[in-house]
């Protein structure tokens, strides 16, 4: 069955996610701040809209994918935002990574208008978005999730309903906590090898074959050894995620000391102008501490 689906935010992840929805036979309405970002979808048959409000007026379900919580709130509640054309029965699904408190605030405001909201952050980056193998953690009502699940499975390999509003973002924060800690650990391990005049490439090969193996080690270890920092996932995004982790932990009144260390490393990388580099560039911060 074809649904009228809107998609707002057509970047590295949003564009392939929207394409998967279109290929599944859904009528697609799209909006992006840059007209050229919409072109691949328009070429494939999507309707280009002039604003988020127009997307909402033409859709039964609207997906959003933005960088920050403030961006999502602007898309939903700003001038010409979704809320201007929102009607009872509309479902808004945010696939961005934002603070749980912001997701809950958006949900409350939309639900007061009879609009369902799901926070459904997608994990896996551009490659997983292209391959439709994203991991998606969903917060919101069971009824809204049940209705939206077939759409989410157009680009998600693992789709899990975590709980109520904001709970999907808590799950994503937990995921990103593990990732930034792993990045910090890989950078420190390889720097330890190099500081002891041991070939980091051989150490990496040993790590990949032992109990320290992880997918992150497989992906990021070779980049850290070779110094290839062309962006896969830009460091600025993991920096944002680390700060969300700290905010979420503070709200819950718990300590996450490892995440704090990783956040400080990303702070340093950002200060060096490395925000647009791949997160593998974190090793330059650790190596820099070695040299004082």
Residues classed as catalytic? 172
Task: Please answer whether residues 82 and 91 qualify as being in contact, where contact means their C-beta atoms are separated by less than 8 angstroms.
Answer: no
Task: Please answer whether residues 250 and 152 qualify as being in contact, where contact means their C-beta atoms are separated by less than 8 angstroms.
Answer: no
Number of helical H runs and strand E runs in the chain: 14, 9
Q: Strand ranges (DSSP E) for 54-111?
A: 61-64, 91-94
Helix or strand or coil: residue 85? helix
Helix or strand or coil: residue 29? strand
Separation of first and last alpha carbons in the chain: 62
Phi/psi at 181 (5° precision): -65, -40
Beta partners for 29?
6, 47
Task: Please answer whether residues 121 and 172 qualify as being in contact, where contact means their C-beta atoms are separated by less than 8 angstroms.
Answer: yes
Task: Please answer whether residues 96 and 155 qualify as being in contact, where contact means their C-beta atoms are separated by less than 8 angstroms.
Answer: no
Burial class (CB in 10 A: 0-12, 13-18, 19+), 273: exposed
């Amino acid at each position: 069955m074809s649904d009228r689906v809107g998609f707002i935010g057509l970047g590295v992840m949003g564009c392939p996610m929207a394409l998967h929805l279109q290929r599944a036979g859904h009528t697609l309405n799209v909006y992006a701040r840059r007209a050229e970002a919409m072109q691949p979808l328009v070429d494939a048959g999507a309707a280009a809209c002039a604003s988020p409000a127009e997307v909402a007026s033409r859709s039964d379900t609207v997906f959003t994918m933005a960088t920050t919580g403030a961006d999502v709130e602007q898309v939903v509640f700003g001038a010409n935002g979704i809320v201007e054309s929102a009607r009872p029965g509309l479902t808004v699904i945010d696939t961005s990574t934002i603070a749980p408190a912001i997701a809950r605030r958006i949900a409350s405001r939309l639900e007061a208008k009879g609009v369902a909201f799901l926070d459904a952050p997608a994990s896996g980056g551009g490659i997983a978005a292209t391959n439709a193998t994203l991991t998606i953690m969903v917060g919101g009502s069971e009824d809204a999730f049940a209705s939206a699940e077939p759409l989410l499975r157009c680009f998600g390999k693992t789709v899990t309903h975590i709980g109520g509003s904001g709970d999907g973002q808590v799950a994503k924060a937990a995921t990103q906590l593990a990732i930034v800690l792993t990045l910090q650990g890989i950078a420190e391990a390889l720097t330890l090898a190099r500081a002891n005049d041991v070939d980091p490439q051989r150490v990496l090969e040993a790590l990949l074959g032992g109990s320290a193996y992880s997918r992150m080690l497989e992906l990021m270890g070779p980049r850290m050894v070779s110094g290839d920092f062309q962006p896969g996932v830009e460091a600025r995004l993991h920096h944002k995620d680390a700060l969300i982790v700290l905010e979420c932990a503070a709200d819950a009144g718990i300590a996450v000391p490892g995440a704090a260390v990783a956040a400080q490393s990303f702070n340093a990388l950002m200060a060096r102008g490395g925000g647009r580099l791949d997160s593998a560039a974190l090793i330059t911060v650790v190596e820099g501490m070695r040299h004082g």
